[in-house]
Amino acid sequence: MADWVKNGHLTAGGKSLEYACWGPAPSQAPTLVLLHEGLGSVAQWKDVPERLADMTGFGVVAYSRAGYGASDPVDLPRPLSYQTDEATGTLGEVLDALGIDHAVLMGHSDGATIAAIYAGSVSDMRVRGLILIAPHFFTEPAGLAAIAEAGRSYASGDLKDRLGKYHSNVDVAFNGWHDVWTDPAYKAWNVADVIDHWRIPVLAIQGTDDPYGSLAQIEEIDSRIYAPLETLIVEGCGHAPHHEKPEQTCNAIVEFCARLHRLEVEAVSLA
């Protein structure tokens, strides 16, 4: 992309995807690429992208995956491999479309898993680090129960109305996520082997009171990783530390990005 257009649509994975950018262009600074949760979108990051652009000096870009926000819809049901499909079939094209050549992938929940799969499955020297917020690599009974409860809230509570503010086709957004996770075959889903292949620094962030995933997800990273790992365990926090504990979470992200950038600069000077 010749110009760092602040918002619009790009084409990746055969779909038109909405995106928004903050801060300097890829030619001027590294770029934080934000990947949203299973019911998220560009707008649902709220003030986090602008805050991180200001605090890090990096460019920041967020996009809504197909089926979310103002991006193109998808056909349902989604395949059980939808997270791997997004990582291996679309994410690289997003980086291409935006002209990003020095990226840190920052994902939340499903987005963290997609970032993790990309880093462990695709050889892409543009990606220099991973920030994983509430990642999941395998299912847990409590998390599956929380998703089933979300389904009941969507059917008879106010969740549909709340999500409808952010998604052009809210039924596609919700059912595309919920119906995969509640499929009996999905209990066996496990992508933890991607951790074995990471060769870039990682910051993993997890709330202690997250109903969708436990510290077992972070312990899985720690037990398998061969790359540098930093962790932030946020006490008294649920599924979205960047919203629930923004100061603590954003400070950790900023410090991680600063260390990454300093290592890059030192490596260049030594070369």
Q: Is CATH 3.40.50.1820 the right assignment for the domain spanning 7-270?
A: yes
Give the model's pLDDT for residue 269. 58
Sheet containing strand 15-22, edge to edge, reads 7-12, 15-22, 59-63, 31-35, 103-108, 127-133, 202-207, 229-234
Give the model's pLDDT for residue 2. 39
Q: DSSP H helical segments within the chain, as ranges?
A: 48-56, 82-86, 92-98, 110-121, 141-156, 159-164, 170-181, 216-224, 241-244, 246-270
Give me the amino acid identity at 197: H
Q: How far apart are CA 103 and CA 183, in angstroms?
A: 34
Indicate the domain borders of the chain: 7-270
Helix axes 170-181, 141-156, angle to 10 degrees: 150
Band (pLDDT 50/70/90 cuts) for residue 265 is confident
Q: Which residues, at least 6 apart from 121, have a Cβ–Cβ distance to it below 8 Å? A: 84, 87, 88, 194, 197
* pLDDT tens digits, one per residue of 194-242: 999 999 999 999 999 999 999 999 999 999 999 999 999 999 999 999 9
